[in-house]
Amino acid sequence: MYDREFKFVSRHKHRIALFEADPVASPFIEAAFGGFPVEGPLHRLARAYTDAFDPVILVPNAENWTKVTREEFGVPLSFTMENLKVDHNGWDMPTLFVVDPASPLDLIDLWNLRQFHPQVLPMSLAWFQDAKEYLASLIKANHRPLPGNPNGVMIHLMIQFGRSIVGCDYQKAFERGSAILSEAGLQGLPNAPLTMKLWYDRIWIGGNDEFVPRTQRAEVSAATTDLDLTVSGEGSELNCRFTALAPEFGDGIAHGATRWVNVLKFRDYGSNDTLALTLPSSFPGNVARQFRIGETTLISREGFMAL
């Protein structure tokens, strides 16, 4: 990225940020925007990030959270998705997820939530009151017609509080959440309805049933291709050959044996039933190891995973 873009003088200044380390705010900052280890084999990444992007160094507070969010600054997590395609399998309302920065449970929930919903804005409860003016403008800006919908459906901001803040009892969660919103003056804004989500999607349950479509985890890929394969019966075993996909960084220096995965999804358009193209995840490991797809082959809901 540096050689392609950031080493040149740009007409418009790059907005790249890095928050200072802070013993109280850093857990939230790293979960929301990303950060770098201060020791260990990867601690040099902080220096590389600074040298390549010349980021603005910011103190973690409500003012700078607002600045980074409003002006859409690039942050460390932004660059982890370079050249990757994220498919969230649908669309969802924008969500403001408010967490207690001292709660590991809330931070884990935040991390998991973003795997299932495409529009999640993390917010620290410690900064909620100080950022209330920006939050009010955010609520108003997100109350708008759904593009392409002729029936008057409106988009609106959904707010969800971490479990450590409001608990799991519906009535108590509603009262606690309403009190926080009222204190910040965000309840009953004119022409700007706000929905408070008081439940968690059952993301630990995979697939759909006949009546309730469940939220699906995002699929992240660097490249995809469709191949028409001919299965050969020569020899003692059925076989076919194809070229595996590899990212551009595949020829670089590696710190581990596995750096990417090829996920294989097979489809048979004929009536041949001699091939088992769908297998349960509990398929015996000693049999699965006989697949000559890669050094290690895993069977998952996504497909055959060749490491």
Write down the pTM of the prediction.
0.77
pLDDT of residue 74: 92
Rounded CA separation 279/266 (Å): 11
pLDDT of 287 > 70? The answer is no
- pLDDT tens-place string over residues 53-64: 889 999 999 999
Helix or strand run (H / E) with residue 140: helix 132-141
Mean of pLDDT over the chain: 81
> Which region among 92-101, 123-132, 137-146 has the lowest average model confidence (pLDDT)?
137-146
Rounded CA separation 118/217 (Å): 10
pLDDT of residue 254: 57
pLDDT of 276 > 80? The answer is no
pLDDT of residue 118: 85
pLDDT of 94 > 80? The answer is yes
pLDDT of residue 100: 96
Rounded CA separation 121/63 (Å): 15
- The first and second tokens of residue 195, run together, are 């929905």
- pLDDT tens-place string over residues 138-166: 999 888 888 877 887 888 889 999 999 99
Rounded CA separation 31/183 (Å): 26
User: Domains of the chain, with CATH numbers?
Assistant: 2-79 (no CATH), 85-197 (3.40.50), 222-307 (no CATH)
pLDDT of residue 164: 93
**DSSP at 299:** E
Q: Check: CB of residue 245 under 8 Å from CB of residue 239.
A: no
pLDDT of residue 249: 64
pLDDT of residue 284: 58
The neighbour count for residue 240, using CB atoms within 10 Å, is 9
SS3 178: helix
Rounded CA separation 121/102 (Å): 18
Cα atoms in the Cβ-side hemisphere of radius 13 Å centred on 273: 0
pLDDT of 6 > 90? The answer is no
Q: Check: CB of residue 161 under 8 Å from CB of residue 100.
A: no
Which of 107-111, 138-142, 167-171 is predicted most confidently? 107-111
Among residues 160, 152, 153, which one has the least CA distance to residue 119? 160
Q: What residue has token string 């581990």?
A: 256
